[in-house]
Amino acid sequence: MKRVYLDSAATTQVRPEVIVKMQEALTNCYGNPSSSHSFGRSAKTGIEKARKTIAKQLNAHPSEIIFTSGGTEADNMVLRCAVRDLGVKTLITSKIEHHAVLHTAWELEQEYGISLQYVELDEFGNPDLGHLESLLKKDDHKKLVSLMHVNNEIGNVLDIDAVGKLCAQYEALFHSDTVQSIGHFSWDLQKTHIHFLTAAAHKFHGPKGIGFAYIKRNSGLKPMILGGSQERGFRAGTEPFHNIVGLEEAFVLAYQNLVEEREYISSLKQYFLEKLQAAIPEVQFNGHSGKMVKSTYTLVNVCLPFDPEKALMLLFHLDINGIACSAGSACQSGSNLGSHVLMEILSAENSKKPSLRFSFSKYNTKEELDYVIQVLQEFDKN
């Protein structure tokens, strides 16, 4: 049986070079970075080197990079601390954000009594910037806007510069969950008006359990996790040096190979779109995922014209044929609820049909995509 992994939006295969770096760190640099002896100083030096590497690529200051356990913690930290420390009274987001943002926003509404407002979406899931502006100028309350750069389910790419300009115009704070775009898109944080962004290493061929938050200097945020002076006093806890080294290596390789790998992965997506439409003419693409210029090159979300009752077995059918993909966000595994993203944008008719997210990486091939389409056709015929 073939094994085809098309779920890189959930997590990516770790690069071999990253594994080597992490093994070296675990074997040779096991001192506590907070210790004053040479073992500790060596680890601390490595952490600061990684911080500078990331900051340089993003055109940020090293002090603005705070290592976290991943994107979920970073999102929680930014939103909670902004409300607690910066006097935010209104949080503006959308109903198709990652649950790390949505669930945190709901809790903040209950805990602090903030006004939680949602930007209207068009039929493809794009935020209405005119509506966003009307929310921003509604009153003089301190506002925080949280809109993700690349949607993790349908792949829509936000015009982050346009949102940033609106936030600057109305003196609002701007946070973006960039978990699906860091490592896949170029950034210059001196040219983009943004106060906070979040990232996770396992989305760009690094290890799980490590990520970072960009927190603009002099933001006024205070620590959420207390107990030590790590991360310049912002996040207590002994740093996982081996994971930070892995993140750095994956980050460096992602941007060293960005142009080449983007071109290759884009060609895979274009090939898949064309072959799938030829094989299953009634297929539809959710959001803007079927358009190369309006969505990320790393994923496509398809609505298949299969019988809804029969489609209950579709993921199982793919799995027993060695194919990994997602029916929705992987973070919803174990839940009986459908995708909250698709529920917001699909018609009543299409919401009954099976939708699948296929996400690509440098490790995929056109032969694999041919096999996936073949398996889908066989399922439709049986």
Local structure of 204: helix, strand or coil:
coil
Rounded Cα–Cα distance for residues 8 and 368 (Å): 14
Give the pLDDT score at 159: 97
Residue 333 has pLDDT above 70, yes or no: no
What percent of the chain has a predicted confidence (pLDDT) above 90? 90
- pLDDT band at residue 71 using 50, 70 and 90 as cut-offs: very high
Residue 382 has pLDDT above 90, yes or no: no
- pLDDT band at residue 232 using 50, 70 and 90 as cut-offs: confident
* Nearest C-alpha neighbor of 68 from the set 97, 31, 100: 100
The number of residues making up the chain comes to 382
pLDDT in tens, 1-42: 799 999 999 999 999 999 999 999 999 999 999 999 999 999
CATH for 4-12+258-381 is: 3.90.1150.10
Rounded Cα–Cα distance for residues 171 and 359 (Å): 37
* Bridge partner residues of 101 (DSSP): none
Rounded Cα–Cα distance for residues 188 and 184 (Å): 13
Give the pLDDT score at 331: 54
Going across the sheet that includes 196-200, the strands are: 65-68, 211-215, 196-200, 173-177, 143-146, 90-93, 115-118
pLDDT in tens, 284-299: 999 999 999 899 999 9
Catalytic residue positions? 331
pLDDT in tens, 123-176: 999 999 999 999 999 999 999 999 999 999 999 999 999 999 999 999 999 999
- Assigned token pair, 344: 């917001």
Residue 329 has pLDDT above 90, yes or no: no
Give the pLDDT score at 381: 80
Q: Is the pTM of this model over 0.85?
A: yes
- pLDDT band at residue 308 using 50, 70 and 90 as cut-offs: confident
| Average pLDDT over the chain, rounded to an integer | 95
Fold annotation for 16-256? Aspartate Aminotransferase; domain 2 (3.40.640)
Where do you find CATH 3.40.640.10 in the chain?
A: 16-256
- Asked if 75 contacts 100 with a C-beta cutoff of 8 angstroms, the reply is yes
Local structure of 143: helix, strand or coil:
strand
* Nearest C-alpha neighbor of 304 from the set 325, 277, 330: 277
Rounded Cα–Cα distance for residues 228 and 74 (Å): 18
Q: How many CA atoms lie within 13 A of 104 on its CB side?
A: 25
Handedness of CA 23, 25, 30, 33 (dihedral sign): negative
Where do you find CATH 3.90.1150.10 in the chain?
A: 4-12+258-381
Give the pLDDT score at 337: 63
- Asked if 194 contacts 29 with a C-beta cutoff of 8 angstroms, the reply is no
Mean pLDDT of 50-73: 98
